[in-house]
Each structure stands twice: as structure tokens, then as C-alpha cells.
Amino acid sequence: MKAGSTFDVEVVDTDGHPLRLPNLSVDVVVYAGGNPRYRFEAGTTDRYGHLHTSYEALELQRQNNRQFARDYETALTECDDTIGLAVPSFEELGERLERTQEYFPEYAPALEARVMRSGNRHFASDEVKKIAANGRRIAVQLPVERT
């Protein structure tokens, strides 16, 4: 992934029409050698169904995660120049919450609050949408479906 990459994500239906869906959690999948290396929570959509994230925000998450696991040693600049975007299902978010409650209980209340108010209860993406992470600003339409 190239430093300076920024991503403006707009949630759309499967026909490409914009959806004003607030509080959808969006994940970013980072690849190395064509295989998934990291999966980060990019944040939640605003009331217009938009989300902005960047290389810098993801790199900060990677660095913060290093205090918990050594799996985060690979710098994002060493990863592929392609990322994936996805809206996880409500069930996936629930599984993350369970793992957080077990291994990092001090972070569980904040995650639980985000999960409970998330729009992911009713919408998710069918697959990971791959896009270039080439150091530029990229506008992306991310299709979601009612679950």
C-alpha cells in the first residue's frame, strides 16, 4: 500500500444507487502477496452513508495493534497496492465482540456500544471489493445488501 492513499467510500445498493445508511461498520482488508494480511475497522459511515479513511489512519491502527500481537510487524508500505473494503455482518461484529470480551475486556464496552448501534444488523456486503491503494485519493462505491 502506498503512503498518501485516501479512500472516500460511499455505500450503494447493488444497482449503484446511493444509500443514506448511518453507522455501518466498514472493514479494510490489506493484502500481502495476494493474501489477506490485516483486517482493520475503518470506522462507521456518517448519516449520508459516507466514510473517509486513509493510509495514515490504517498505519496508526497497525502500530497500536502491535502492542497486543506480533502479527502486526509488516508495515503497510510492504503490503500490496490493493486493498479490500467490506461491510461485515452483524454476526461477524458479534463474534469480534465476544473475542474482545475474552481477551481485551477493557475495550469491550466501547465496542459493544458501537455494535449495538450499528446499521450492520440489517445490511452487509456480499463480498470484499478490491481497489487500488496507489497513493492517491480514491472515491469508491461499496455495494451492500439487506440481510
CATH number, domain at 126? 2.60.40
Q: Looking at the domain assignment, is residue 104 inside a domain?
A: no
Rounded mean pLDDT of the chain? 95
Residue 15 has what DSSP assignment? T
What are 117-137's pLDDT values in tens digits? 999 999 999 999 999 999 999
pLDDT in tens, 80-122: 999 999 999 999 999 999 999 999 899 999 999 999 999 999 9
Interval 19-31 mean pLDDT: 97
In the chain, the number of structural domains is 1
φ, ψ of residue 75 to 5 degrees: the values are -65, 150
- pLDDT of residue 71 exceeding 90, the answer is no
Query: What pTM did the predictor assign?
Result: 0.93
Structural domain that includes position 55: 6-89+119-146
pLDDT at residue 70, rounded to an integer: 76
Query: Residue 108: inside a domain, yes or no?
Result: no
- Residues 6 or more apart whose CB falls under 8 angstroms from that of 33 comprise 80
Question: Which pLDDT score, from 0 to 100, does residue 90 have?
Answer: 97
Residue 27 included in any domain? yes
DSSP string, 18-67: B---TT-EEEEEEEETTEEEEEEEEEE--TTSEEEEEHHHHHHHHHHHTT
Q: Is residue 97 part of a domain?
A: no
